[in-house]
Structure 1
Amino acid sequence: MNDKAHSKPADAIELAIFASRITAVCEEMGASLAQAAFSPNIRDRLDYSCAVFDAQGRLCAQAAHIPVHLGSMAYAMADIVAARDWAPGQMIALNDPYLGGTHLPDVTLIAPLFVGEQLVAFVANRAHHADIGADSPGSMPLSSSLDEEGLVIAPVALVDNDRIDESVLGGWLEHLRNPPIARGDFSAQIAANRVGLKRLSALIGEGEAADVHAFRERLREYNDYARELAASALRELPNGRYTFTDVLDDDGQGNRDLAIACRIDIDDGRIAVDFDGSAQQTAGNVNCPLSVTAAGALYVFRCLMPEQVPACAGAFEDIQISAPEGSLLNARHPRAVAAGNVETSQRVVDAVLGALAHAIDDRIPAASHGSMNNVALGSHGADTAWDYYETMGGGLGAGPNRAGASGVQAHMTNTLNTPVEVLERHFPLRMRRYALRRDSGGTGAHRGGDGLIREIEFLAEASYTVLAERRRHAPWGRAGGGDGAPGENRLDSDTLAPKCTGVANAGQRLMIISAGGGGYGVSS
């Protein structure tokens, strides 16, 4: 980048090229992370996200990875950046949900980019570790406090002066069931950030060719451009106040029908989303920090914007998110949050969509399957420790002009399934059935998508935990369309609770049956 190239304001084509180049940094980071990771959860399921931020922690770019990772990281990053002094050659790690994380398995690594003595930007990646030290395998327990969910990492320098601090990493590995796998995954995250720093440096210019001023000006123009495009889309939303309330099935600790209440105020493209009226923080682990709540709400509004709107801070400047402190959606330390990130975030999306349906009826689909259908399995009393974590798709809600897709991830997650061959090679498990759940989508002029059935046989005694939703409350249809079929969890012929844990014997089978999507419109 040079001064001549910035002697006049950038036009839309130049900014689109810049957006592609900075987004490519994130995409290459992700490819590097997947290729270097040891665990199937990161390597095969692609349970990670990568992003670039400016020197103040404002989002510059992100790859099309996992919305709940990216939205929460973008919401919390400015506070993380402001809380410490940064130095070249550092990488800060964290997973504390109350200090910028989401839930404990998601470990974030942040690396500053310096040009000379100037702090210019940050690269960051967040990856889900199937083992983060909880007593139950998979580190997604039926917990009632944060400490039960595993190792809590407040922001700490994992890398200093470009060298891994073995006292830090070694201290973590002592708490984990399979240290070599964990070390490999942390090393992959470090390598991904190094790739990001190298590519971002090339974008800015290196040595005497570096032009920090030009890069900062381009970022300013880029954010202004994103805000203009986003504002144009948001101004199409009719002014008014719109409300909707949905519920979670339960919290795994006996509390049912937990309300997620959403109120949206729209005023000439300025949006205020308030979750006052939602349930209070609860004993189970469906609580979430405000950053996760914000991620769900911002995701919905991003979906209403044109595809060419850059996914940067400028696009979201006119959207404000709030939730009462001490509520389910803005919990206080040390409330448990393992399922808040994966399940409550999905219901936040449903509540925001439900409210917006009163404003833009012809653009909002029926509810999708509404759960990440989390399954955590692992050794029980065996000499060889293993952990397996999986999320599973279901049916998408139908829309005004289309049927819902079947057997896919929805909304706040964007991972793959673990290939059957990988699962059976690495773990004492056998996949007995993996199929679409026919006719589980809601009826209507456009049918909802069908859910999935995944039946796993245990080849050795093992622990299991399931954290799922839409087992008691079906995904709702719209405009006269039928509800999708609720999901089910079974161990052999026994029906399990939406959130459950236990020990299975060799030969037993765990079946996860995900919900279908809601239908749209009245059948002719």
Structure 2
Amino acid sequence: MTINHMSSTVIQNKIDPVTLQVIGGALKTIAKEMAHVMYRMAYSSLIRESEDLGAGVFDIFGNTLAEADSTPMQLGCLPGYIRGFQEKLGDNQHPDDIIWNNDPYAGASHSPDVALCQPIFYKGELVGYAGATAHHLDMGGAQPGLMVDVPDVYAEGLILNGVKLYDKGVRNETLIEVIRQNVRTPNEVIGDLEAQVAACRLGVKRFIELMDKYGKNTVLSACEELMNYSERMMRKEIAKIPDGVYEAESWLDNDGRHLDIPLKVHVKLTKQGEELEVDVSKSSDQVSTAFNVAYSGALCVSVHSVLRSIFLDTFMTEEDVPANEGAFRPIKITARKGSIFNPIKPAALFSRANQVNTVADLIIKALAPIIPNQTCAGSSANIQFASYAGLDENNEYWVYIEVNEGSYGGRPGKDGMDAVDFSSWNTMNNPIEDLDMHVPLVCEQYELREDTGGAGKWRGGLGIVRWNRFLTDGFMTMEGDKHTVRPWGYNGGLPGTSANLIKNPDRTAEELPSKLNGYRFQAGESVQILVPSSGGYGDPLERPAEQVFEDILDEIVSVETAYRDYGVVISDMELDIRATEIRREEMRSTRGDLPVYTQ
């Protein structure tokens, strides 16, 4: 299966560069305004605090014209959502409709990511869409919040495509009542849906105002030219790397049920001229749990996101390149039908984050030898996605979901970034104050995972430690991985530290697997999440000793690690330069040639 990108056909007006930039800036502002509406109106902390949402404006074919500065996984899937409900509805679309799609077999990222889109009509003609998507706390289904081990997609809860939440401006109260009766947190879900509706309404209003000011053909011509420009820039950057085939592979812990069977992830990149194909067909077959991946809504989004960051990074390019559909036209994405990245319905595909993060990390690994200045060492490639749930004093569900931050590998000239989501995720942290105020959990620890980043000339980033305690009986589902694989070091850098999940670390500690599915905790019990830290880049012995000493003072690196991995000698908490020189010379004389990758 491959993805195709369509281009709109409009009467092309010749647009001067200033007007083009003004319209491009206006489109970007529309998307950002839409996202701000959702931040301010959302009920759940996952949207309000973590910003697990996406918003943007799109042409009549679903091509992205502009997107907000939120999580790429929520943004990049919106074209698929639109194309999915277009196939269902055809011409049955009207002004003030709000159309629902959360079907992962019709473009959705996964079932709790609900997209609401409003067609934009200008003087009776369909000219585009305003769309907003967000991760909802609960859609019903087998487990509260998140789920890993379910038999099929129907067990994931309420899934709809092409159903109108608003029909010609009138709210579908029957659908609202269906939601209210079938989800565990109806107030939060319905409130968050209305925040999405408000974002769509604003996006339509602003897009129409833009056409009123500049004219329909001018705006649409500008949209097409902006996409063409992004395409030209992507092709230009792809053309710079040598033609050839580049491959990398890694392993996932398991599928959440068969805990002793690892799953292969294989990435093959074929570069020819100005185009690039990413093929993951040699990866594992689809599995019998929800540890599968929606092709369009998750795999393609992750591939597009990481390739754009490699080739069109804002720090590396002198010119601003709009984030729109054009940048993805030179990219072909292939996934074997029946594989973990392109499952056959009705396979469940709720838990997809770690698979696509691994694909993104392997793309970086495959390209690192030919574009080392645009890549980094192995990153956490991981998302420790946790949901907590239980019943309150009224016997009603509370559900809390948090995204636990990973890190990036060391990169040329800079250390890896600490405590940030990798690649397709850009969510913010859930403040512990928000947790303490709203749900019966207490956060005992939330800090950087010290002394775990891979050593290197530029060290790997640190993940985090989060330790939460239940105040009532409850459930936890964990969508995690990287318990068995360490983030790779590059060009002599050392690997990072793998993940871990520990029950009751302050009592009789029990190591848990990377994936939990409705695991029961009693009041007073706790769980500690240790997120992977990333790999180092370059020879650790080339890191200035003074910088290693600063890391020790900042409690990023221990004295023991400084001596063992960096050859830095600390005496009485003072840097011993002479002893360090001797220690490093001894290490160089005995270690042999440095490997390209360490894992």
Q: Same fold (TM over 0.5)?
A: yes
How far apart are 1:381 and its partner, in Å?
8.3
TM-fit CA distance, 1:449: 0.9
Q: How does 1:70-469 map to 2 (within 5 A)?
A: 70-75=75-80, 77-83=82-88, 84-85=90-91, 86-205=93-212, 211-254=215-258, 256-291=261-296, 292-303=298-309, 304-307=311-314, 308-340=320-352, 342-380=353-391, 383-469=395-481
Q: Tell me, which stretches of 5 or more residues in structure 1 are unaligned?
A: 1-5
Establish whether residue 470 from structure 1 lines up as the match of residue 482 from structure 2: yes
1:80 and 1:329 map into 2 onto residues whose CA distance is 22
Q: In 2, are the aligned partners of 1:407 and 1:450 still within 8 Å (CA)? A: yes
- The residue number in structure 2 matching 1:503 is 520
Q: How far did 1:464 drift?
A: 0.8
Deviations 1:213-267 (A, max 9, x none): 2222112221222222222222112211111112211110115321111111111
8 Å contact kept, 1:368–1:410: yes
Deviations 1:129-165 (A, max 9, x none): 0111123221334323212222112221111111210
SS of match in other structure, 2:253? strand
Instruction: Encode CA deviations 1:314-347: one digit per residue, 9 max, x unaligned.
Output: 111111111111111111111111111x221111
Find the aligned partners of 2:540 and 2:433 in 1 and give their Cα distance: 41
1:102-150, Cα deviation, whole Å (9 max, x unpaired): 1111000011000121000101011000111123221334323212222
Distance between the aligned counterparts of 2:22 and 2:269, measured in 1? Answer: 34
Give the drift of 1:73. 2.3
Q: Give the secondary structure class of the aligned counterpart of 1:391.
A: strand
For 1:299, give the aligned amino acid. S
Residues 25-74 of structure 1, C-alpha deviations (whole Å, 9 max, x = no match): 11100100111111111112111110111012111111121111222223
Greater CA drift, 92-101 or 64-73: 64-73
CA root-mean-square deviation: 1.7
2:565 maps to what in 1? none
2:486 paired with 1:479? no
SS in 1 for 2:100: strand
Q: Kindly indicate whether the alpha-carbon contact (under 8 Å) linking 2:502 and 2:528 is maintained by their aligned counterparts in 1.
A: yes
Distance 1:425 1:381, change over 3 A: closer
Distance 1:474 1:184 in 2: 40
**1:517 paired to 2:534:** yes
> Kindly tell me: are residues 152 and 251 of structure 1, through their superposed partners in 2, closer, same or farther at Cα, counting changes over 3 Å?
same
Amino acid at match of 1:451: G
Letter in 2 for 1:282: V
Which of structures 1 and 2 has the bigger CA Rg? 2
Do 2:419 and 2:462's aligned partners in 1 also have CA atoms closer than 8 Å? yes
Partners of 2:161 and 2:38 lie apart in 1 by 23
Cα separation, 2, equivalents of 1:330 and 1:386: 33
CA deviation string 1:1-47 (max 9, x = no partner): xxxxx964332x44333222101111100100111111111112111
- More displaced 10-residue stretch of structure 1: 353-362 or 300-309: 353-362
Structure-2 residue corresponding to 1:50: 55
- TM-score calculated relative to the size of structure 2: 0.83
Please name the residue that 1:3 is paired with.
none
Identity %: 29
Partner Cα separation in structure 1 for residue 16 and residue 385 of structure 2: 45
How far off is 1:76 after superposition?
Answer: 5.2
> 1:9 matched to which residue of 2?
15
**Contact 1:380–1:503 (8 Å) recurs in 2:** no
Question: Aligned letter for 1:377?
Answer: Y
The one-letter code sitting in structure 2 at the alignment partner of 1:211 is G
Check conservation: 1:53, 1:59, Cα contact below 8 A.
yes
Comparing 143-152 with 294-303, which one deviates more in the overlay? 143-152
**Whole-angstrom CA distance in 1 between matches of 2:469 and 2:306:** 37
Distance 2:189 2:281 in 1: 40
- Consecutive unaligned residues in structure 2, runs of 5 or more: 1-11, 315-319, 542-599
| 4+ runs deviating over 6 angstroms | none
Contact between 1:296 and 1:412, CA under 8 Å: does it hold in 2?
Answer: yes
Secondary structure at 2:336 match in 1: coil
Asked whether the equivalents of residues 488 and 495 of structure 1 are also in contact (C-alpha less than 8 Å), the reply is yes
Normalised by the length of structure 1, the TM-score is: 0.95
**Residues 435-454 of structure 1: CA deviation (Å, up to 9, x unaligned):** 11101111111110111110
Distance 1:397 1:7 in 2: 46
Where 2:409 maps in the other structure, the secondary structure is coil
In 2: Cα distance, 1:476 partner to 1:464 partner: 30
User: Given the superposition, is the C-alpha separation of residues 144 and 441 from structure 1 closer, same or farther in structure 2, using an over 3 Å criterion?
Assistant: farther
Structure-2 change in CA distance of 1:429 and 1:90 (3 Å): same
Cα-to-partner distance string for 1:169-195 (whole Å, 9 max, x where unaligned): 211221111222222111111111111
Aligned counterparts of 2:43 and 2:142: Cα–Cα separation in 1: 22
